[in-house]
Amino acid sequence: MYQALYRKYRPRFFRDVAGQEHITSVLSREVAEGTFGHAYLFTGSRGIGKTTCAKILAKAVNCPHEKEGEPCGECEICRGIDEGSLLDITEMDAASNRNIDDIRDLRSEANFTPAVAKYRVYIIDEAHMLTKEAANALLKIMEEPPEHVIFILATTEVHRLPATILSRCMRFDYRRMPPEVIAERVKFVCKMERIDIEDDAAMLIGKLADGGMRDALSLLDICRSSGEKVTADTVSRCAGLAGREYLFELTDKIAEKDISAVLKTVDKLYEGSADVSRICDELINHFRNLMVVSCAKDASSILKVLPGEMLRIENQAKTFSMNEIFHAVSVLQDTLVKMAKSASKRLEFELALVKLCTPALSGGTEALLARIENLEKEIVLLKARGISPAAKEIPAKAEKPSEEAVYEAPAPKIASEPEKTPANSPEAEFEHWEEAVEIIRKKNGMLFPFLDGSKAYLIGGRVLIDSPNEFFIGYMQKNDDARELIKNAITEACGTRYGIGPYKKTDKKPEDDPLAALAKRVAEMGIKEL
């Protein structure tokens, strides 16, 4: 019967465990010096050597021919542990043996001395799956274990273990293996199995394995079944990377804010029996790749993608700002959580994509920041097309500018004798107003209707606008750009920079002299002059 590569090439000695030298060196030294403990905790991601090291440790502490902390691998005990036939070594999966009754049986058995080996070793895999009651029952024997018992707990989620168990174990944290280390091991296995593999293919397997040797050898097994030389294309095809075109397609349509095209792509994927939850998860990882490319200088050493995909990711990253990427990841992650509780996963996914195409539908911080950045982009584009912000208003007390500069508004004239028609009177219409309105009509068709049929008056260095449109004043109060546009048009029409404001005629008669009125009231009250 064919044996999977990850089982066939599972390390049998500490020296063969790749990428975990910081742990194997300590364990072998403890065995050699006889200072090993009664409880160990191995934690880390899947497929990086936790259970393998647990079995090697069980052999090393029981091997009668142990040398420098390494088991001999040839004695009856070593062979029995490798074959799984030695009853003194118990490997228990806590995912399926997680109840208190299972731990009670373990406690009862642990009191008996070993039949063949020197120590009875219990390897509890996925220890975080134990129930609270089972963990408490295990804690009792871990506090006062028999001298012939050693516990080795392995877990991928150490945070789920009770603190009381953690405090009684010697903890070792396993690291994800670098792609280079995995690639070297893959090439070694290929040499032993006479598999023809390219260096690029081995490195790609190392990147796709995500730090786990078991996943790397499992992928190599699949590539081997193709019956051809293992190349980067072979690895890509066997790993399912060739079918990732829809990720780039969806991302392009999101960048273009093309809702119709996005929904059509989802419909096509759904008709092809694609799992929308899986698509959502992969799209999150794709936006993560865009973030890495935008932030890291050497993104190719971090991302686990094909060389041909790297250029496409770099080009797509340029179409999104960092806030837009953060917003996309936030929306998709929230959607992934909702999918687990929703009756229609497709609907949740479509709603998320519509939100990404229409940021105005989202009220979160990331969405607001993304909308602000979009507005900033539009301003930059307008400047690139020659539409620049209006010139700043010149202070009233500025020195006399040159002929080419924009003139300040003249100060109101104080006449020694009253004029028949003062220049700053509201009745003196602004003579350049029609020309200014025509300039506005050509530049902004949306603002012109508010000024159609309007009049303007010059008073106190300001142009007061009298518009028949009842919405004019409210519109001007809320729109800074419209006010600047009117000022610029006036400047262009007459060469002078004026402030602007609203003007409404009033029929109210001017009041009498306030001092005279006061004197009249004093006289009426009978108050004598001092």
CATH at 17: 3.40.50.300
Does residue 394 sit within a domain?
no
Closest alpha carbon to 157 in 26, 288, 50, 275: 50
- For the range 518-527, what are the long-range contacts, defined as Cβ-Cβ under 8 Å and sequence gap of 24 or more? none
Q: pLDDT tens for residues 373-392?
A: 667 766 766 766 666 555 44
Q: Give the CA angle between residues 255, 261, 262 to the nearest 5°.
A: 65
Does residue 397 sit within a domain?
no
CATH of the domain at 255: 1.20.272.10
Residue 504 confidence (pLDDT): 62
Residue 394 confidence (pLDDT): 45
Say whether both 165 and 31 belong to one domain: yes
Say whether both 370 and 256 belong to one domain: yes
Say whether both 256 and 221 belong to one domain: no
Residue 391 confidence (pLDDT): 44
Q: Give the CA angle between residues 446, 455, 506 to the nearest 5°.
A: 120
Read off φ and ψ for residue 167, nearest 5 degrees.
Answer: -70, -15
Q: Which domain holds residue 297?
A: 244-382
Residue 432 confidence (pLDDT): 87
Q: pLDDT tens for residues 171-190?
A: 999 999 988 899 999 999 99
Q: pLDDT tens for residues 68-78?
A: 999 998 999 99
Residue where a domain stops, chosen among 158, 173, 188? 173
Q: Give the CA angle between residues 451, 457, 460 to the nearest 5°.
A: 130
* Beta pairing class for 407-408 and 170-173: unpaired
* Contact assessment for residue 41 and residue 158, using Cβ atoms and an 8 Å cutoff: yes
Residue 420 confidence (pLDDT): 38
Grouping H, G, I as helix, E, B as strand and the rest as coil, residue 92 is: strand
0.75 exceeded by pTM: no
Does residue 401 sit within a domain?
no
Residue where a domain stops, chosen among 121, 147, 173? 173
Closest alpha carbon to 207 in 100, 305, 82: 305
Say whether both 237 and 256 belong to one domain: no
Read off φ and ψ for residue 116, nearest 5 degrees.
Answer: -120, -50
Say whether both 201 and 347 belong to one domain: no
Does residue 15 sit within a domain?
yes
Quick one: tokens of 178?
Answer: 């670098």
Q: Which residues of the chain are under the pLDDT cut of 70? A: 240-243, 306-307, 360-371, 373-374, 377-378, 380-381, 383-427, 504-530
Say whether both 230 and 260 belong to one domain: no
Say whether both 282 and 364 belong to one domain: yes
Amino acid at 327: H
Does residue 416 sit within a domain?
no
Residue where a domain stops, chosen among 173, 194, 222? 173
- Number of residues assigned to the chain: 530
Q: Give the CA angle between residues 69, 72, 75 to the nearest 5°.
A: 135
Distance, CA of 451 to chain centre: 47
CATH of the domain at 209: 1.10.8.60
Read off φ and ψ for residue 441, nearest 5 degrees.
Answer: -60, -40
Residue 29 confidence (pLDDT): 94
Does residue 52 sit within a domain?
yes
Does residue 477 sit within a domain?
yes
Does residue 151 sit within a domain?
yes
Say whether both 231 and 252 belong to one domain: no
Say whether both 194 and 306 belong to one domain: no
Domain count across the chain:
4
Who contacts 50 (Cβ-Cβ below 8 Å, separation ≥6)? 42, 43, 44, 125, 154, 174
Other residues' Cβ atoms within 10 Å of the Cβ of residue 122: 23
Say whether both 202 and 149 belong to one domain: no
Say whether both 226 and 362 belong to one domain: no
Radius of gyration of the chain (CA): 40
Say whether both 211 and 358 belong to one domain: no
d(CA 403, CA 401): 7
d(CA 352, CA 341): 15
The three-state (H, E, C) secondary structure of 325-341, written as one string: HHHHHHHHHHHHHHHCC
